Chains A and B, each alone.
Chain A
Amino acid sequence: MTTLINRIRPIFLSSGSGVPTGFFIGIVALMVIVAVFAPWIAPYDPNAQNLLGRLKAPGTEARNVLYVLGSDELGRDLLSRLIYGARISLSVAFLSVILSGCVGILLGMLAGYRRGWVETVIMRLVDIFLSVPAILLAIITVAVLGPGFINVILVLALTRWPRYARVAYGQTLSVAGQPYVRLARAMGASWGRILLLHILPNIIAPLSVVATLEFGLMVLFEAGLSFLGLGVQPPTASWGAMLSVGRNYVSNAWWIATFPGLCLFMLVLSVNLIGDRLSEYLNPKSR
């Protein structure tokens, strides 16, 4: 345990921009806690409308409801919606990273290890997927499947697996010729066993950096799709959808767009900085 702490400590304390990385890990941890315990933390029901309390500025009180961060166009408490919105952002990003990561890593390793026609087919597929701008691919797929929580995750996974496949492929190629892999094969290990027990543990470090950076991107993608009305559907609170409402009220209710955007920005910035630091830590040459 202490060795683990000693290994993690430098990541926590390192700082590329003057602020220790531990601060950003703290922000992400805070958002995860808020998302998990949303029903207990949120002061009000995020979907409770209050037509007499519409577009109230932060700090105002209307009909016994204190709007700490103001209210939206239907009189819903912005703070409560932000808290519930964290659930959507984090869960969509987490699930789509897991899904695209598993598919991409598996296919990438397969291509790098089996070579031959398997390699050709998989890597051509990767090239094809990567040549469609990701958001356009996501939009056309949502246009076919329809919006919604599950569909957004499927769409994001479908669009992003090639990223992992490409990295896993390159890493597998460099590991596959190592003596321990050859030895395992000589001892009669099946290729599935070699991939999962011998190759995967040795290529997981660079892939974890990709996954971290992808997590930030997925948060932005989910928010972007919701902003365009193609993500999770109302009345479910989502930061992207809140921003798109805020866009319509820029002239008289600045708070509706400002706070969800700030949350998104802080989350993505923190995740990206953690990813950067992780990659420096795992790859000392780039320091």
Chain B
Amino acid sequence: MAVFLAKRAGQALVAIFGVMTLVFFIQRLTGDPTYLLVPETATQADIEAMRQSLGLDRPLLVQYLSFLADIVRFDLGRSFIQNIPVTEIIASRLPYTLQLAGGALFVAFMIGLPIGLILALARKYKSSNILMGVVLAAQSLPTFWSGILMIMVFGVWLGWLPPSGSGSFAHLIMPSIALGLLSMATYARIARSSILDELSKDYVRSARARGVPQGRLVRRHLLRNSIIPVISITALEISQLLAGAVIVETVFAWPGLGLLTVQSVVARDFVVVQGVVLLGAFVTIAVNFIADILYSVVDPRIRLDGAGQ
């Protein structure tokens, strides 16, 4: 266990280090990152002053090391537009994105799991094809289109829900559905194949032979054994949701990290963009790390020495 943990933690650290290097490299794709950091109206003298104050005139290696050192100290720099530390800006927006991601996961799980169950149990009936069609459609639905359609129907025509913004629980409903539909399709497919796997096993047949009623069979036997892949996919879904939030938050003017990223790109506030990207990557790495460990805790059959992989 300790060896597995150490090895896995080492991999995560390498990935974090790699992401920081990647971002540092991307900053310099066009040569001099100073131009990314100054307002468009800056004069040549301003640019020169900025370059010196940020230390961008130092050797590349020195810049790289100080970039790493800053991040390790949780210093993501200062926004030049708003003139406050990036960590503060991110902290003020993070709760909104967490609410949205939570809502979307709830939608995805509560709709996807039952659909997957029905698809697996009713696969012999032709009508289950329609449900499969719904899943495939949800998978191909551009979130910015489904979001706008919902705003149009429920926000403008029917007037049931606030079309955009934040402030109440009602504001959260449409963005959560728009963001959750994609993950819903993933959950439905994973749940379907996982339950189908279990259905063909001996213990299901013997339970049926003992006369266990269908409802009890599903609750007590099938769901419990087939839930593990569904839980482990959540780790992947969380990073999907973070990415999807960029679009959904823009559609619904939801003031989370996604909208912040887009606003910062438009306002040329590069330090903030970089901060959100680093955060997104760290969260993805951390969630995958935790999922790997949880996975082996939940299912003792998975071997921890790495030989089973």
Contacts and interface: CB of A to CB of B under 8 A. Distances in A.
Contacts of A262: 145
A65 to B, nearest CB: 25
Contacts of B151: 247, 250
A230 B148 CA distance: 19
Contacts of A131: 15, 18-19, 281, 284-285, 288
A24 to B, nearest CB: 10
B148 A246 contact: yes
Contact of A136 (B129, B142, B276, B288): B276
Interface in A92-127: 124-125, 127
Interface string A171-202: 00000000000000000000000000000000
Interface string B230-255: 00000000011011101100110000
Q: For the complex, would chain A's binding face be called helix, strand, loop or mixed by DSSP majority?
A: helix
Contact of B239 (A133, A139, A143): A133
A42 to B, nearest CB: 22
Interface stretch (A29-37, A47-55, A221-229): A221-229
Interface in B116-131: 126, 129-130
Interface string B101-112: 000000000000
Interface string B136-149: 11011110110011
Interface stretch (A5-13, A73-81, A203-211, A267-275): A267-275
Nearest to B182: A220
B308 interface: no
A219 to B, nearest CB: 9
Given A144-B26, A144-B30, A224 B148 contact: no
Contact of A142 (B11, B137, B265): B265
Interface in B52-85: none
A228 B262 contact: yes
Contacts of A243: 142, 144-145, 148
B250 A228 contact: yes
Contact of A144 (B21, B36, B144, B281): B36
B166 interface: no
B162 to A, nearest CB: 13
A216 interface: yes
Contacts of A230: 265
Interface size class of A (residues with CB under 8 A): 35 or more
A132 B142 contact: no
A265 B139 CA distance: 10
Nearest to A230: B265
B14 interface: yes
A143 B239 CA distance: 21
B130 A269 contact: no
B265 A261 contact: no
Interface residues of B, number: 57
Nearest to A273: B136
A143 B284 contact: no
Given A250-B151, A258-B149, A227 B250 contact: yes
Given A144-B27, A144-B30, A136 B156 contact: no
A139 B244 CA distance: 12
Interface in A210-251: 216, 220, 223-224, 227-230, 240, 243-244, 246-247, 250-251
A17 B280 contact: no
Nearest to B268: A143
A136 B277 contact: yes
Contact of B243 (A136, A141, A276): A136
Contacts of A41: none
B86 interface: no
Nearest to B253: A247
A132 B261 CA distance: 14
B130 A261 contact: no
Contacts of A140: 23, 26, 273-274, 277
Contacts of A135: 243-244, 246-247
A137 interface: yes
Contacts of B240: 133
A282 interface: no
Nearest to B283: A133
Nearest to A240: B144
B163 interface: yes
A257 B262 contact: no
B136 A143 contact: no
A256 to B, nearest CB: 10
B273 A143 contact: yes
A25 interface: no
A260 B148 CA distance: 12
Nearest to A250: B152
Best-buried of B21, B129, B142, B243 by chain A (most CB within 10 Å): B142
Interface in B144-171: 144-145, 148-149, 151-152, 155-156, 163
Interface of A: 16-18, 124-125, 127-129, 131-137, 139-145, 216, 220, 223-224, 227-230, 240, 243-244, 246-247, 250-251, 254, 257-258, 260-262, 264-265, 268-269, 272-273, 276
8 contacts: A127-B15, A128-B15, A129-B22, A131-B15, A131-B284, A134-B243, A137-B277, A140-B26
Which 5 A-B pairs give the minimum distances between C-beta atoms? A261-B145, A128-B18, A133-B243, A269-B140, A17-B133
